[in-house]
Structure 1
Amino acid sequence: MWEITLGLALLLVGLFYLLMIWNFDYWRKRGVPGPKPQLLTGNYPHMYNMKKHIICDINNIYCEYKEKYDAVGVYGARRPQLLIINPALARRVFVSDFKHFHDNDVSLLAKEKDDFMFANNPFTLAGEVWKQRRADILPGLAPSRTKAVYPVTRQVCWKLTDWLHKQLRIGAPDGVNAKDMCLNFTSEMVTDCVLGLQAESFTDKPTPIMGYIKQLFEQPWTFLMSFLLISNFPMLRPFVTLRLITVKTERFFVGLLQAAIDARRTQQAANAQFERLDFLDYLIQLGKKKNLDTRHLTAHTMTFLLDGFETTAGVLSHLLLLLGRDEQVQQRLREELVPHLNAEGVIEFDKLNELPFLDACVQESMRIFPPGFISNKVCTESIELPNKTGDNFTVERGTTVIVPHYCFMMDEDHFPNPDKFQPERFMQPDALKVYRERGVFMAFGDGPRICLGMRFAMTQIKAAVVEVITKFEVRVNPKTRKDNVFEPSSFLASLQGGIFLDFKALP
């Protein structure tokens, strides 16, 4: 009996082994070079043990093959993926050949019946539905609306510095947790500028908004396991529920938006002259025009919370870290900002985007700590591509294509001394445009699917930096690590161990 049991066990193990490796010759058959995959992890040895961030595995492949090929074939566990090595080819994916790579890979995982909010996020939507949704949302993010709520932006900045002064009075030997501070800032900013509500993030009694927003980025192990299962076995997608936004969280945000709409209507009823040209105002108009209920309108607002809340806070906190590490750059930035402060101690909206060194500091920070390490696109229409010293090859419909932005931005060939914080890189004439056209810098993406909230996010970041740098000296607390090692479990750039900063009020 035991022989039969052992035999069946060995048979099952053998079948599982064959299942996991059966398509490891996918790229060889198509004439595409690449590293040899390993059982269970494919070409990402740290996929499960989390000893290093997965971008380290991708960068190792990039460095090995960049001199020979434009693209190589890799495997995420057992799933074939195409890794773009040449930044010029990456730009083709985003711009000139966009119709062949129209959708983001995550669109293959999101199902409306399982997660209505996530499936209806513009980042997730595919095909013509994405095109229509982008057309719906884009007017609400026009520069004129960002400018209209700039007075609110300034008020939130003042809340930030008032809170910092309070921390100085209290005293914090371990410094201020910069990431938490910046999350408070972005939650307050988004809630007020977008919905016209108060999150009270910088008070002792914040509203539940902050907690629910954090839940969006703190997923349980069940979600991660489901994600890995579907990634490795795509045939299981119809049978596995993948929900990023829980039912409880969805209900909260639907109720929050309804409360915002009711409050706005009350204000308008009480004062016929009341007008605030923010995103909520646009949403109400859109709802009337297209007969959309509150749930659908809430899905529209999630583009701010899912796509901008965490990423904007990350950019701001890492920029403050880099400025804290370099006193000379910080002082040079302060000298650019101070002459443009008005009587209220702020820089006017129209002037904010005309400060070259401020812009250079933000761009350089995003180069070192990018909002996204990679972009995962999906081939929506087969296309033949060149491969430098190799043969031309065909990318088939449904293939996941990885564009490793971080690898380009940390490549010595494109950015000498890439580990150093040197804003001067972006001070050259048309530097940002040149980098983008070469495909080596796409902090907000590129082409038709470039980040919707890019201008809004840049305004938030710059306004906060002006407020902090003109009122405080920023130094790095000894608790913060001195290198740029990333937190392995984070999808977004996040310094391992956290960012802790010391602030000293300027006279």
Structure 2
Amino acid sequence: MSSADLLSAGRVASACLAACASALVYLVVKGYHARRTFYRLRQQGMPMPPWNPILGHLLAVPPVMKTLPEDTQQPDAFEALCKAHEKDNMDSVIYLDMWPFADPMMVVCSPVLAVQACQEHDLPKPPILHAFFNPLAGGDNLFTMNGPEWKRSRALFNSGFSAGYVLQQTAHIVDEAEVYVEILREHARRGDMFSLDDVTCWYTMDIIGAVTLDSRLQSQTWHNPLATAMRRQIRWHVLDNEWNLLVRWNPARPFVQWYNNWQMDKYISAELDKRYAEWKQDSSTASSRSIIHLALAGYMAQQQDRPLPARLDPAFKRWATIQIRLFLFAGHDSTSSTICYCFYLLQSHPEALAKLRAEHDAVFGTDLSATAQTLRSNPHLLNQLPYTTAVIKESLRLFPPASAMRGGLPGIFLADAHGNRYPTEGTNMWILHSAVQRNPRYWRDPLAFRPERWLVAPGHPLYPPKGGWRPFEHGPRNCLGQTLAMLDVKVTLVLVVREFEVRAVYDEWDALNAAKVKGRVKTVNGERAYQTQMGGAHPADGFPARVRVRRER
């Protein structure tokens, strides 16, 4: 080897050593600051599990995990830790030191503290959210933005989710729901066991595709590259419950994710170009308030009186593509889970199912073949379903599809009714919706399915506590699509529950997968359909189900 080669190799080795040393120094400094934060919090008497100055709270997690299914969602484990270590003279909150796996964390299980974090202080979204959302949306998006950029984007899309405009989308939802119903009929004819969660995800993807892109994806019955790439991206990205390191660190993942990104961006780019060309030829298309048209409307407004460019600005296309991808992910993922849990809870509460069917008969009549057309011609009838709304809200209370994350700030404290003040500086606040919504300090019969909670008057023992129901969050950062999500679920229940009996068949699934479940915990709070992380929170094992057509009317 020549001297030049030796010199070059030496430089490379020196650079590698320098990089390794820098990384080591960063980890040591970061770890020191994390441990110092918790040393101070412990000195202040803040609630937390037993703390080790070297390992933090890492030793507190394994005992809890032994009591839960291996694939349960992380909030279940942190809720259990909160219950085990919260103090009687303090509200439901603990601090967790999970470094190097996470930054200092404040786990909030109290509606009182959640209201302060998300509404009174409106604390910012923390940078940690980028790691989860960027592979799905493709970059900084409406969910992760803060400040003026978020306000401009939120204002641009608000009109597309107004109650009046969303109700006008009922016909689009019914179109996709009829395909879903026919798929359920086919499963009923075959009498097979299938994943209801999977079937429902494709269904809600088609709904949000129609609302977002103003076109039908038809992913329930055909291969759609956009929908397929999004669903595949979720499967390859969300690995919170994957313990197999060969799967978790699969070297193929970056390449698969790159291909998924390319597929999604290519599809949406073509749609943007198509809509832009239509707009230039006929400005009447501007009356649509689909997400893609609202994005283009913002772009057109920036052009003012200048001649329209031949092609869309690449920077705008990139921004619009990211926001559209976010809506596609968020708009289908949580709604599909909610639909599944409505079926699950109604199956196990036949009295509630009977009331629901009676309400639908009273509003839509008993001719099931006419229901879809009635919905198209008179969508306002959906506002006459108080018990249906109560069923959906109670399902969302027991099985919320997500939680909230906020970043702490210097000088900002959360305060409880006992006079305690909890510092937020240097922490990421994880508001666990499932824990807040099942907190026995605030809810009567917190684990019971009681739709009547949403029909009683204030002062009744079942009446929900202030700020206690948070599946769509509250305050300025509440879910933009909550009206659409509620409409999707209502339409689905109206068209499905009177025609079908939908049953979870976990006993059958467990028998077929005995080697996987033998000797393992497979329930959370007594529920076999516990939540597992698959994008948002979804029913365990894909919700194995059977469907049969009802013979009773």
TM-score range, shorter chain: 0.7 to 0.9
Aligned residue in 1 for 2:332? 309
Return the index of the structure with the highest Cα Rg: 2
Separation (CA, whole Å) in 2 of partners of 1:417 and 1:218: 35
Q: What's the CA shift string for 1:241-294, capped at 9, x where partnerless?
A: x98994433332232223334554677799887765433332322232246632
8 Å contact from structure 2 (residues 532, 539) kept in 1: no
Counterparts of 1:220 and 1:41, CA distance in 2: 26
**Cα distance in 2 between the residues matched to 1:181 and 1:295:** 31
Is residue 142 from structure 1 mapped to residue 162 from structure 2 by the alignment? yes
Query: What's 1:250 paired with?
Result: 261
Please give the secondary structure, in 1, of the residue aligned with 2:236: coil
Of 383, 388, 399, which residue of structure 2 is paired with 1:353? 383
Kept in 2, the 8 Å contact 1:371–1:493? The answer is yes
Counterparts in 2 of 1:376 and 1:44: CA distance versus 1, 3 Å: farther
Which whole-Å deviations, capped at 9, do the CAs of 1:142-182 have from their partners, x for residues lacking one?
2233223221111111111112112222331x2x3210111
> Where does the alignment leave 5 or more consecutive residues of structure 1 unmatched?
1-11, 229-241
SS of 2:90 mapped into structure 1: coil
8 Å CA contact 1:30–1:394 kept in 2: the answer is: no
2:62 aligned partner, one-letter code: P
Superposition TM-score, scaled by structure 1 size: 0.80
Which residue pairs with 2:413 in the alignment?
384
Residue pair 1:103, 1:379 contacting (<8 A) in 2 also: no
Do the aligned partners of residues 279 and 489 (structure 1) sit closer, same or farther apart at CA in structure 2, a change above 3 Å counting? closer
Q: Tell me what 1:95 maps to.
A: 119
| Secondary structure of the structure 2 residue equivalent to 1:184 | helix
Deviates more, 1:446-455 or 1:337-346: 337-346
- What residue in structure 2 maps to residue 282 of structure 1? 294
User: Is 1:505 the equivalent of 2:549?
Assistant: yes
Amino acid corresponding to residue 300 of structure 1 in structure 2: Q
1:195 to 1:491, Cα distance in 2 relative to 1, 3 A: closer
C-alpha offsets along residues 210-254 of structure 1, whole Å, 9 cap, x if unaligned?
3212123123589999xx9xxxxxxxxxxxxx9899443333223
Instruction: Give the distance between the partners of 1:210 and 1:115, measured in 2 at CA.
Output: 15
Cross-structure match for 1:238: none
AA aligned opposite 1:362: I
> Which amino acid in 2 is paired with 1:280?
I
Structure 1 residues 502 and 188: alpha-carbon distance in aligned structure 2, compared to 1, 3 A threshold: same
Paired position in structure 1 for 2:18: none
2:136–2:326 contact (8 Å) kept in structure 1: no
Cα–Cα, structure 1 residues 386 and 417, in superposed 2: closer, same or farther, change >3 Å?
closer
Letter aligned with residue 178 of structure 1: L
Equivalent residue of 1:217, what SS? helix
User: CA distance change for structure 1 residues 138 and 268 in 2, over 3 Å: closer, same or farther?
Assistant: closer
With 336-345 and 38-47 compared, the bigger mean Cα shift is at 38-47
Q: Identify the match of residue 416 of structure 1 among 444, 452, 470.
A: 444
The Cα shift of 1:74 comes to 2.0
Alpha-carbon distance in 2 for matches of 1:33, 1:344? 58
**Aligned pair partner of 2:201 in 150, 168, 183:** 183
2:88 to 67, 75, 84: 67
Partner Cα distance (1:244, 1:60) in 2: 37
Q: Give the partner amino acid of 2:411.
A: S
Partners of 1:362 and 1:86 lie apart in 2 by 22
Question: Which amino acid in structure 2 is aligned with residue 119 of structure 1?
Answer: G
Alignment match, 1:462: 490
Summarize deviations over 1:81-129 as a string: whole Å, max 9, x none: 223343212211111222xx13245356589xx8694432211112222
Where in structure 2 are the equivalents of 1:112-127 lying within 5 Å? 117-127=137-147
For the residue of structure 2 that corresponds to 1:497, the secondary structure is helix
Cα distance change of structure 1 residues 377 and 349 upon mapping to structure 2, 3 Å threshold: same
Over 3 Å counting, the alpha-carbon distance change for 1:390 and 1:368 in structure 2 is same
Q: How far apart are the structure 2 equivalents of 1:182 and 1:116?
A: 19
- Alpha-carbon offset, residue 185 of structure 1: 0.8
Equivalent residues of 1:148, 1:276 under 8 A apart? no
In structure 2, what residue type is equivalent to 1:69?
M
Equivalence for 2:476: 448
In the superposition, relative to structure 1, how do residues 53 and 193 fare at CA in structure 2: closer, same or farther (>3 Å)? closer
Identity in percent: 19
- Matched with 1:217 is 234
Q: Look up the match of 1:296.
A: 319
Amino acid paired to 2:47: P
| 1:369 corresponds to | 399
1:479 to 487, 504, 508: 508
Distance 2:115 2:409 in 1: 16
Amino acid at match of 1:498: G
Residue type matched to 2:442 in 1?
Answer: H
Instruction: Provide the secondary structure at the position in 2 that maps to 1:446.
Output: coil
Q: Give, in angstroms, the shift of residue 308 of structure 1.
A: 2.2
Partner AA of 2:388 in structure 1: L
**Which residue is equivalent to 2:7?**
none
Q: How do 1:23-34 and structure 2 match up within 5 A?
A: 23=36, 24-34=38-48
Answer yes or no: is 1:493 the counterpart of 2:537: yes
- Aligned residue type for 2:408: C
Residue matched to 1:157: 177
Query: Which among 30, 39, 44 is matched to residue 61 of structure 2?
Result: 44
What is the match of residue 77 of structure 1? 99
Residue in structure 1 matched with residue 215 of structure 2 by the alignment: 197
Instruction: Give SS of 2:439's match.
Output: coil
Provide the aligned length of Structure 1 versus Structure 2.
469
- Distance in 2 between residues matched to 1:125 and 1:476, nearest whole Å: 39
Q: C-alpha offsets along residues 443-495 of structure 1, whole Å, 9 cap, x if unaligned?
A: 11111100011111111111111111132222333436784253555463333
